[in-house]
């Protein structure tokens, strides 16, 4: 193990921007995944020059560098499984420019998503990829992960919003990628390559990102279905109809029961519910879109159809979906809600089958799983609820996950829709990308020959996610 | 690395709940300590991780670990934001109970009394949490489990013998320094608002705006974490540094965890009298009561006050 020259790092970032106490290191060893591994030192740079110096040093000394934003990743992306320097980018948190005439803003990577949107609001615009964790997720972390959220079905993911990046490479060199323009025809579009690379190719120190106008009208509807198949068919038909939903969410029966059980919302316990929303500047146009989606749901045996423009009523309808995350955590006193097999994307026509497969794999392996997600983007989320202290539950989860991703692969889906790969989904990722792994390794080798940037993630992740690193849970037997 | 486990009798019962914390981090955006230091290891999630590590033996009990466990202002915003219903403050209180038994007393954010204490016992009477006592031969003793770091004792001590060692930007000297710094930083600066809670802070929270956005800024919000901490100097300092007005935000009567709003009301009333005696419009200082999390109301109160202050103009 290479040792870190702490005085050297202290000289680069200053005393106030470095932590070496074992307690701090332990606290920074976790994110929202199932893993835990302490880094050797935490460094919080204030500016690009410091990032360059830290990387140049780490590259020379061959010390791993793990870049971290809000630490809200679900797959272990920011867990320093090989130790090394943890680069906490929350120190670089300035919104540098809001450029209305050219419709972009420039931000440092530590800017928090919600803060950016609060700053953009007075201008009547918003940054749309916004994941559910937007209150703490940083723009840098969202770029590393190619984050998206409920409205990405209409407005796209982070990769669609990023126009340009300033990136510090492994050797400390600073490169400017992309442009200040919406289009850029030639070359390798290297800024897009950095998006979703999970900190393995460089450290983003500045981003040029686009924004869109805040719509004047939003209309949200709901439809209940007695079968997942019907809900799945409705999703496919809506997306094929030319309708442009600004949100299209699926929640399954497990999710509905969880919300009812923990929040007492009294939702009708059906096989599946669809939430559909349209937005825009013209009320009639918005209503036209929603009406069309409603008709498609009706045609596919959707019941209890209802929609509203009213903000309070919309909030009421959306409450169930919004409360799902906490509801799953509080589902059962003896069960923890773990981020495993947490997302995937499948073709629209396979949505219902995917949800059914998740239920089947869960039942077979003695765990509880739910299926929900931004199905308008083909995105499906799950959580595994299990007794994390029991070894057999982990083995059951492992089998269920293997079955689920085997199915995802067989129907030409993809391993991650928006949460990323990190460690926990790497097994499936490596199978899915089997024929391009060498290409990825070549890119990685070209940009980071000493393999210092977030080593052991994505295609480099260890084979078995359960034993890849220490689990954050105390597993007894 | 596994080390020899220490027995944590009170903390043990929370093992299951600590596993239920999904470590989403939604708690730390609200934490006043995180907002001040911006280190995740000062935030509530880190406290859960720490408690878990102590129980599993992965974290060695050291004075710095103990100190961290005594850092909390008990605003409980973390619990309100917790997606898993984890009782973060209850867990930390049980950890504190264990730590006290093991001989660790913080102090962290708990208050301590200096030897210069004149034993007037005002702090004992004023403490809303019954955390202070006078023991013959020992003087004033503070129960580090009961102390909720509201700072009311700090404010009431006539000889300034009480301090909160780790203030996270909320001690009077720091607040006064920041008020003066803002008022002299730009032509547009007119008003200081002391807000007892971050929860209704309407500005962006953990990022920084471009300088061009704030160059015309007219007011600065300084979070002091309990209205009960406000003293006359804190209210007077802005006026001595060209401020046009001072706005004080505290919790509604039935919401304050420390009954600090009553003290704040008295001090604002007294400052109004002082201003009147100096022939200054007493409306230049104003107290508003804002429920937890009500950013809209806070912004509306600020806007109304700014409008009034702009009509009054500077103090001549």
| Distance in angstroms (rounded) separating the CA atoms of residues A24 and B41 | 5
Residue appearing with tokens 């917790």: B82
As beta bridge partners, residue A218 has A279
Mutate which: A110, A126, A329, A330, vs B, most B CBs within 10 A? A329
Q: Residue A250: what pLDDT? A: 92
Q: How far is CA B61 from CA A37, B13, B88, B92, in A?
A: 18, 18, 19, 15
Of A135, A139, A155, the C-alpha closest to A377 is: A155
Residue appearing with tokens 């109970």: B97
Q: Residue A260: what pLDDT? A: 84
Partner residue facing B22 (CB), from A44, A329, A334: A329
Partner residue facing A23 (CB), from B19, B64, B207: B64
Angle of CA points A123, A124, A126, to nearest 5°: 100
As beta bridge partners, residue A168 has A174, A203
Q: Residue A470: what pLDDT? A: 85
Q: Residue B5: what pLDDT? A: 74
Residue pair B108/B70 in contact (Cβ under 8 Å)? The answer is: yes
pLDDT digits (tens, 9 = 90+) for B233-283: 999 999 999 999 999 999 999 988 888 999 999 999 999 999 999 999 999
Q: How far is CA B173 from CA B163, B177, B192, B237, B249, in A?
A: 12, 6, 15, 11, 19
Inspect the interface and report whether the beta carbons of B206 and A473 lie closer than 8 Å: no
Q: Which residues contact B54 (CB under 8 A, 6 or more apart)?
A: B6, B8, B11, B61, B65, B95
Chain A's closest residue to B83, CA to CA, is: A326
Q: Which of residues 193-222 of A touch B (CB under 8 A)?
A: none
Q: Residue A309: what pLDDT? A: 96
How far is the first Cα of chain A from the last one, in angstroms, to the nearest whole number? 31
What is the ipTM, given to two decimal places? 0.93
Give the residue, B65 or A436, on which the prediction is more confident: A436
Helix, strand or coil, per DSSP, at residue B189: coil
Give the CB-side neighbour count of residue A355, counting CA atoms within 13 A: 30
- What percentage of chain B reaches a pLDDT higher than 90? 77
pLDDT digits (tens, 9 = 90+) for B96-116: 999 999 999 989 999 999 989
Q: Which of residues 250-279 of A touch B (CB under 8 A)?
A: none
pLDDT digits (tens, 9 = 90+) for B80-93: 888 888 999 999 99
Which has the minimum average pLDDT: A9-18, A59-68, A369-378, B173-182? A369-378
Residue appearing with tokens 């209150």: A135
User: Does pLDDT of B1 surpass 60?
Assistant: no
Give the CB-side neighbour count of residue A376, counting CA atoms within 13 A: 26
Residue pair A53/A168 in contact (Cβ under 8 Å)? The answer is: no
User: Does pLDDT of A393 surpass 60?
Assistant: yes
Q: Which 8-state DSSP code applies to residue A453?
A: B
| Distance in angstroms (rounded) separating the CA atoms of residues A4 and A57 | 10
């Amino acid at each position: 193990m290479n040792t870190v020259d702490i005085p050297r790092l202290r000289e680069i970032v200053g005393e106030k921007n470095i932590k070496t106490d074992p307690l701090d290191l332990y606290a920074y060893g976790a994110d929202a995944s199932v893993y835990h591994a302490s880094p050797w030192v935490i460094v919080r740079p204030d500016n690009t020059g410091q990032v360059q110096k830290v990387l140049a040093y780490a590259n020379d000394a061959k010390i791993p560098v793990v870049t971290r934003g809000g630490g809200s990743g679900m797959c272990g992306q920011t867990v320093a499984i090989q130790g090394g320097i943890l680069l906490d980018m929350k120190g670089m948190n300035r919104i540098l420019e809001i450029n209305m005439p050219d419709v972009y803003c420039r931000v440092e990577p530590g800017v928090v998503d919600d803060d950016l949107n609060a700053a953009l609001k007075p201008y009547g615009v918003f940054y749309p990829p916004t994941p559910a964790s937007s209150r703490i997720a940083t723009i840098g972390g969202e770029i590393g992960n190619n984050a998206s959220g409920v409205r990405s079905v209409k407005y796209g993911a982070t990769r669609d919003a990023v126009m340009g990046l300033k990136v510090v490479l492994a050797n400390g060199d600073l490169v400017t990628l992309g442009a200040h323009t919406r289009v850029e025809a030639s070359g390798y579009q290297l800024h897009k390559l950095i998006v979703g690379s999970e900190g393995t190719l460089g450290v983003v120190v500045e981003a040029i990102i686009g924004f869109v106008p805040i719509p004047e009208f939003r209309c949200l509807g709901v439809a209940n279905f007695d079968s997942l198949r019907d809900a799945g068919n409705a999703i496919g038909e809506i997306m094929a109809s030319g309708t442009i939903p600004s949100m299209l969410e699926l929640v399954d029966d497990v999710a509905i029961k969880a919300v009812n059980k923990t929040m007492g919302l009294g939702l009708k316990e059906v096989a599946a519910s669809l939430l559909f929303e349209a937005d825009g500047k013209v009320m009639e146009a918005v209503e036209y879109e929603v009406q069309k989606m409603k008709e498609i749901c009706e045609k596919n045996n959707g019941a209890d159809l209802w929609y509203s423009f009213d903000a309070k009523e919309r909030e009421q309808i959306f409450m169930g979906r919004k409360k799902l995350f906490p509801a799953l955590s509080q589902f059962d006193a003896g069960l923890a809600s773990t981020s495993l097999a947490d997302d995937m994307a499948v073709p629209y026509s396979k949505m219902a089958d995917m949800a059914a497969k998740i239920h089947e794999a869960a039942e077979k392996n003695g765990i509880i799983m739910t299926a929900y997600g931004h199905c308008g983007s083909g995105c499906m989320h799950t959580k595994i609820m299990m007794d994390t202290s029991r070894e057999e539950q982990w083995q059951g989860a492992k089998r269920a996950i293997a079955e689920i991703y085997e199915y995802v692969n067989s129907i030409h889906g993809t391993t991650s829709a928006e949460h990323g790969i990190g460690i926990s989904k790497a097994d499936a990722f490596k199978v899915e990308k089997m024929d391009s792994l060498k290409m990825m390794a070549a890119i990685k080798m070209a940009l980071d020959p000493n393999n210092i940037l977030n080593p052991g993630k994505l295609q480099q992740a260890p084979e078995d996610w359960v034993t890849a690193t220490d689990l954050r849970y105390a597993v007894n037997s | 690395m596994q080390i020899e486990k220490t027995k944590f009798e009170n903390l043990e019962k929370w093992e299951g709940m600590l596993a239920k914390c999904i470590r989403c981090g939604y708690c730390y955006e609200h934490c006043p300590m995180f907002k001040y230091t911006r280190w995740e290891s000062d935030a509530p999630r880190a406290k859960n991780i720490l408690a878990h590590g102590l129980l599993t033996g992965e974290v060695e009990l050291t004075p710095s670990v103990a100190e961290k466990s005594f850092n909390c202002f008990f605003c409980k915003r973390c619990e309100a934001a917790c997606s898993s219903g984890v009782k973060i403050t209850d867990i930390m209180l049980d950890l504190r109970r264990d730590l006290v038994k093991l001989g660790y007393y913080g102090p962290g954010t708990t208050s301590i009394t200096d030897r210069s204490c004149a034993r007037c016992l005002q702090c004992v009477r004023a403490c809303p949490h019954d955390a202070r006592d006078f023991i013959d031969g020992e003087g004033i003793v503070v129960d580090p489990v009961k102390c909720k770091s509201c700072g009311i004792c700090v404010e009431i001590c006539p000889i300034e013998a009480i301090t909160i060692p780790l203030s996270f930007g909320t001690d009077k000297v720091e607040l006064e320094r920041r008020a003066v710094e803002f008022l002299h930083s730009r032509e547009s600066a007119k008003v200081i608002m002391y807000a007892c809670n971050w929860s209704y802070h309407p500005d962006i929270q953990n990022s920084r705006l471009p300088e061009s956005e704030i160059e015309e800024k007219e007011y600065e919000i300084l979070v002091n974490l309990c209205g009960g901490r406000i003293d006359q100097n804190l209210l007077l300092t802005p006026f001595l540094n060209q401020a046009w007005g001072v706005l004080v935000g505290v919790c509604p009567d039935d919401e304050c965890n420390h009954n600090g709003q009553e003290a704040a009301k008295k001090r604002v009333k007294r400052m109004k009298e002082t201003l009147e005696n100096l022939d200054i419009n007493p409306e230049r200082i104003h107290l508003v009561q804002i429920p937890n999390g009500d950013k809209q109301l806070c912004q509306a109160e600020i806007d109304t006050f700014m409008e009034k202050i702009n009509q009054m103009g500077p103090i001549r």
